[in-house]
Structure 1
Amino acid sequence: MAASRLCQRTLSAFETSTRLWSPVSARYAPSQVTQQLALTSDFSLITWNIDAFSSRAIVRSRLILGSILEKTERPDIVFLQEVTSDVRSSILNNAKVREAFLVTDAEDKTSFEGVPFANMTLMSKKRFAFDLESQKEEDRVEGGSKFMLGPVSRVKLPSKYGRCALSVDIIPPSTPSIPTTTFRLINVHLDSLEHTLPYRTEQMAIIANLLREPGCGGGLVAGDFNAISPEDHALLDENGLVDAWLALHGKEGLDGATWGVGVKRRDGLGPGRLDKVAMLGVEAKEMEILRPGLIEVPQPGGDSDYMPCSDHAGLRLRFTV
């Protein structure tokens, strides 16, 4: 297995006083976690490949992000894939994101250099404590006690396209008699196209091992797995991970296709379950597919056409740690 390379990143919070994004990840250590009874906590996750290559990427990404943030119950965690540099700027300028979330890769554009796009993760300020003051503000929230945020990193993967795994650790509240254990949330976009299956095989083995590192009690991997072949769909079992969709709906259950739905492709590929959530040591409670909305595309002569906001659907998962 090719060695991966770790690149430390941060989560950043928007400071209204300075009107700037400021890193928060270095302000605490796991030993600072408030000592309290360890409880089970429910979290909600939305993951979405927002499609970098179709036209009007910023407009489309705004509509997708708007549909996520305007939900009655905002997700606690948002994973986005195929974020271009311009779309990154649009996300960082979004007033609702600034108010409610901590965001990866706000500190600089390092992750977007030399690649057409990257993935980004958003973490709810309401559900996760990012320093001691935010822990004290709301020690207990609906669904359990407030988790602390741990290290953030990008793990460079063996890849034809420069892909990496974006990892955020979360640290549950603990008592003095219970050792602090982290859980890992990994945002992925594995290599694309059929001929890169050997890369995806190696990538999944590395990513699964990240959930088994010393001090890590498991977690989840979510995003675009580019699972286009039976061999791809077998990778989770081979690496000892649970497929959240199959755990809830079974192999004969609801169709979980997230890509190519209702579209005729020249390459003959039909609808596929390219986007997934894989779990270790956490439990899936509910899961649904979020179909992309449509945007208007003006045509010559004053007419309009309509196109989906993304060629991928999103996934929403409620899970328990």
Structure 2
Amino acid sequence: MAPPLLPNPLILDRPNLQSFYFFDPAADPPQWRPASSSMDITINPDSHQHHPTDKLHLITWNIDFQVPFPQERMTAALGHLQHIFSHSSPTNTTRGATIIFLQEMISSDLDLIQETPWIRDRFYITDLSPASWRRSSYGTTTLVDRRLDVHRVFRVPYATSSMQRDALFVDVGLNFPSALATPTAGGGEQQGRVIRLCNTHLESLASGTPKRPLQMKRAAGFMHGHDTTNPGGLLLPTPHAEILAGDLNAFAPEDAHLPSTCGLRDAFLVLGGVEDTEESYTWGKQNPAWFAGRFPDARLDKVLFCGGVEVVRLERIGVGVVAKMAFDGGDRGEEEEDDDDGDEEEEVWATDHYGLEAEFLITSAASDSF
């Protein structure tokens, strides 16, 4: 079994290979183990059968790292994700394998993810700790349905980022059903092609406006396959299909044009969505009271794509999800008389962002060029 890949020192604007992790229930004690690709995983092969990749179910969600009660809020978020995932089980053929992009993860979030039974049973995770992040306070992580054939995981730290942001990529092997597989020049079926998935968190706020175009362009270069090697000689394949999603922090008017200028299609607009409508906003409705009104509602979170893939559905998730905080009503003086046992509950938003849930069809068409 491959040892964990060492992420440091990180090379800016270049792909930095890292391990991902699978849960081994037969280990003593049961534990998460590292892998560099699905070929490293030999335990319980029946539970790692590669799923046909004609469909993909994608979720992206930013869980605010700054506000109090991080464990309670992340627990509520994971409960919401479990509810969604329960409708995309292996017996449900209407959805493809699931990928979950998470932004603003902190160390305690990673601990909770590792301890969650449904994640242990069904997903690989890209991070057990902040070791692969440029800063230890928060970062991105991705959960990958273990029925998918993972070829590699790599990060591209943005050189133009004062907030230490990056793009987290997962290459998944194409496994077309026989009905969609098309012959290659050599007469065989498609082999070796990948779907490249990018989880990113672009620079925040107005101060990040000049940096976001450079970051998006850098990520898009890897999506289109323009960047194929790194200084260590790693050869990256040109992907057949590409999906990028996350918190793109699209605060400024010029941010609206970034996807198209980088050759990426915006799932919300492709499906008929209209900018600056109540249905478009993913941020602003669930801010803490002290922050409310400082910025207008915005569509900060987006799902973008290119190549041999088409979006068929996009919805917001996480709307109204709260964590219930118990406290001793006796600490509130007279209010304890309204509660017989002295215990009361207070609700806090799980996060300030709505998430996005998308369904994609992978097509047999060749990747588009840009």
Partner of 2:294: 268
List runs of 5+ in structure 2 lacking aligned partners: 1-10, 41-51, 89-96, 176-180, 226-236, 337-343, 363-370
| Separation of aligned partners in 2, 1:119 and 1:262 | 21
Alpha-carbon shift at residue 3 of structure 1 (Å): 5.8
RMSD over equivalenced CA pairs, Å:
2.4
| Separation of aligned partners in 1, 2:126 and 2:82 | 17
Q: After superposition, what is the alpha-carbon deviation per residue over 1:61-114, rounded to whole angstroms, capped at 9, x for unaligned?
A: 1111111112332461111111101111111111111111111113x5412463
| Separation of aligned partners in 1, 2:63 and 2:286 | 18
Alpha-carbon shift at residue 26 of structure 1 (Å): 3.9
Partner of 2:49: none
Please give the residue correspondences for 1:151-300 in structure 2 after superposition, counting only pairs within 5 Å: 151-157=152-158, 158-173=160-175, 176-213=188-225, 214-251=237-274, 255-261=279-285, 265=291, 268-281=294-307, 282-290=309-317, 291-298=319-326, 300=331
Alpha-carbon shift at residue 12 of structure 1 (Å): 1.1
| Separation of aligned partners in 1, 2:87 and 2:35 | 25
C-alpha distance 171-26 of structure 1, shift in aligned 2 (>3 A) = closer
Residue 49 (1) aligns with residue 73 (2): no
List runs of 5+ in structure 1 lacking aligned partners: 30-38, 129-147
Q: After superposition, what is the alpha-carbon deviation per residue over 1:237-278, rounded to whole angstroms, capped at 9, x for unaligned?
A: 111110001111332677211100265746631111000001
Alpha-carbon shift at residue 49 of structure 1 (Å): 0.3
Alpha-carbon shift at residue 294 of structure 1 (Å): 1.4
Pair member with larger Rg: 2
Alpha-carbon shift at residue 207 of structure 1 (Å): 0.6
Task: Report % sequence identity.
Answer: 30
- 1:84–1:112 Cα contact (<8 Å) kept: no
- 2:18–2:132 Cα contact (<8 Å) kept: no
21, 25, 40: which one pairs with 1:12? 21
Partner of 2:111: 89
| Separation of aligned partners in 2, 1:254 and 1:319 | 24
- 1:285–1:320 Cα contact (<8 Å) kept: yes
Alpha-carbon shift at residue 296 of structure 1 (Å): 2.3
Please give the residue correspondences for 1:54-69 in structure 2 after superposition, counting only pairs within 5 Å: 54-69=67-82
Letter paired with 1:124 = D
TM-score where L is the length of structure 2: 0.73
Letter paired with 1:272 = A
C-alpha distance 231-206 of structure 1, shift in aligned 2 (>3 A) = same
- 2:60–2:356 Cα contact (<8 Å) kept: yes
C-alpha distance 44-254 of structure 1, shift in aligned 2 (>3 A) = farther
Partner of 1:309: 350
Higher share in strand: 1
| Separation of aligned partners in 1, 2:33 and 2:130 | 14
| Separation of aligned partners in 2, 1:115 and 1:162 | 10
C-alpha distance 3-90 of structure 1, shift in aligned 2 (>3 A) = closer
| Separation of aligned partners in 2, 1:27 and 1:267 | 47
Letter paired with 1:261 = K
- 2:126–2:141 Cα contact (<8 Å) kept: yes
123, 137, 153: which one pairs with 2:144? 123
